[in-house]
Structure 1
Amino acid sequence: MKLYNFTELLQVAKQRDFKALGSFNLHCLEMLPAYFKAAKATNSPLMIQISTGTAKYLGHKLLVDSIRSLSESEDVPTCLHLDHCSDLAAIKFAMDAGFSSVMYDGSHLPFEENIANTREVIGMARPRNITVEAELGAIGGSEDGKCLAMSDMAFTTVEEAKRFVEETHPDMLAVSVGTVHGLYTGKAEIQHQRLAEIYAATQTPLVLHGGTGVSDEDMRQAVQGGIEKVNVGTEMNVQWVGECQNTFSKGKVNDSVRNFLVPANDAVRNVLMEKIALFR
């Protein structure tokens, strides 16, 4: 089975009565079977996203081959997406390796430079049928070792979003409307009116980063307001590490490692199933 790009996978999702796609960060290869179990249990297509750090750690080819193989054997339409990347060479490397979707993050750059670089990435991607996510505005918090202070957050404006989309035509646009990367002990305050106005002005699938800190009620409202891709990463990592701390502390050194990991993977599967249910 081929890997789907975002646009193709979103069409599958909508045929199955989902309004949006969850895009779930994979932190280690041991987690991977849990993602497919969750997708199978919910009859959902699956979008897996990889940080540049994880891609370097595991290897691009191993990721592509493993995910493509599981997609075929489990009969789950799957998209493999490179998350937050500002390095054009790294994006091209992921494309060459077989990733079916990429994110160019130029949100930290001057507006015109973000436009120019996004256009360059889209120019590389279109002939390969690879979708491109762009970002406008600054989302606070920590992501893959990169941290942006809350005081430096910059909300996406309707005017800039409209012009950005008109000049670049991305397949999806990540916007800053109140969510925070890495938030799992508090609650994000989403600016729903801003979100609705951005969607009305751009008519482009919008992406919500920092999905872990969003309440179920806000998540449903955001999906109704134009969000069609929701990034979730921290919550799976927190649950997996917490379960591993518990099982490893109680185990013996000659126990099979899989016995330590099964409860952690079960916890990850449950998180995915809960999130996926919000997108119907």
Structure 2
Amino acid sequence: MYIPITPMLAEAQRVGYTVGAFNAHNLEMVPAMIRAARDLGSPIIIQTSPGTARYVGMKNLVAVCRAMAEDEIVDVALHLDHATDLTDIRNAIAAGYSSVMFDGSQLPFTENVAKSRRVVAFAHEHGVSVEAEIGTIGGTEEGIRNREGKYTQPEEAQQFLAEVDCDALAVSIGTNHGQFKSKTRIDLDLLGRINNAVDVPLVVHGGTGVDEADYPELTAKGIRKFNVGTELLVGWTRKAQETFGATKVNSSLRNNIVPCNDVVGEIVAHKIALFMGRRPE
């Protein structure tokens, strides 16, 4: 089924696992991602940046995710990631996205609260889930070094959630966007304190740099949505450099692209198995 993230994360909370949220950097990646989830019997969140959504076309992304959710008999959500412009959020909801993130983490606290409340009211009126963010996640996204991280504080998260009825909360515990050459030192103690202070599914961004050995403790301490983007981008691009450089210019384009999508599917399957507490094959 094509659904919002709310029921997905509620079930993950009830059973005790994490749902993988995978950034599609082009439309070609999406079928490989969804089929990987189908093969493991897992729900999946496909997410796009606002830039990718505009490039591919929001309605095109919705159409593919809806059709594949029905054809492959798997729960799929389509999520707009790190939207700071309310127009992007309104357009995504109008196009049929089932979930959106309003990232007001760079705003003063009171302004973040006020704008997050507006997004929640509008989205919930249309049956769409909302992820909000407290604290800032450092690093590079879509090639732009945009900010330094500021850790989420449990008391601030409590105060935010007392005023904002969001469906998931992104927290900053030491991860960085765009990190793939080294592993992140995450503050698991801080995560535990945040989890004890709030009653909402928690989200980790910048997941590529997280050591896979830390996944079980992240799940145990409330992470219900785990974002993976850079690893998919790097894997797809490296394979594209190999395949496009080794084929004739008049070869069928799919001979170059399908191997790239296969790499994405393998990464997604590996991550989902870990998120669900299974031993990857």
Amino acid at match of 1:241: T
Q: How far is the alpha carbon of 1:204 from its aligned partner? A: 1.0
Q: How far is the alpha carbon of 1:14 from its aligned partner? A: 6.5
Q: How far is the alpha carbon of 1:155 from its aligned partner? A: 0.5
Match of 1:10 in 2: 9
Mapped partners of 1:8, 1:153: distance in 2: 30
TM-score, structure 1 normalization: 0.95
Mapped partners of 2:168, 2:10: distance in 1: 14
The root-mean-square deviation of aligned C-alpha atoms, in Å, is 1.4
Native 8 Å contact 1:81 1:103 kept in 2: yes
Amino acid at match of 1:136: I
Q: How far is the alpha carbon of 1:45 from its aligned partner? A: 1.1
Mapped partners of 2:140, 2:80: distance in 1: 17
Match of 2:92 in 1: 94
Mapped partners of 1:32, 1:153: distance in 2: 30
Mapped partners of 1:27, 1:234: distance in 2: 10
Aligned with 2:78: secondary structure? strand
Mapped partners of 2:145, 2:23: distance in 1: 17
Match of 2:196 in 1: 200
Stretches of structure 2 that go unaligned for 5 or more consecutive residues are 277-281
Native 8 Å contact 2:12 2:224 kept in 1: no
Mapped partners of 1:147, 1:231: distance in 2: 18
Q: Deviations over 1:232-270 (max 9, x none)?
A: 001011001101100111100111111111211111111
Match of 1:216 in 2: 212
Match of 2:154 in 1: 158
Runs of 4+ in 1 over 6 A off after TM superposition: none
Equivalences for residues 65-76 of structure 1 within 5 A = 65-76=63-74
TM-score, structure 2 normalization: 0.95
Q: How far is the alpha carbon of 1:145 from its aligned partner? A: 4.4
Q: Does 1:254 align with 2:250?
A: yes
Amino acid at match of 1:5: P
Match of 1:278 in 2: 274
Residue correspondences, number: 276
Match of 2:34 in 1: 36
Q: Deviations over 1:138-190 (max 9, x none)?
A: 111112344234xx321011110110011112111001000000110010111
Q: How far is the alpha carbon of 1:12 from its aligned partner? A: 5.2
Q: Deviations over 1:23-58 (max 9, x none)?
A: 000011111221122112211111100110001001
Amino acid at match of 2:18: A
Change (3 A) 1:166 1:109: same
Instruction: Give identity over the alignment, percent.
Output: 46
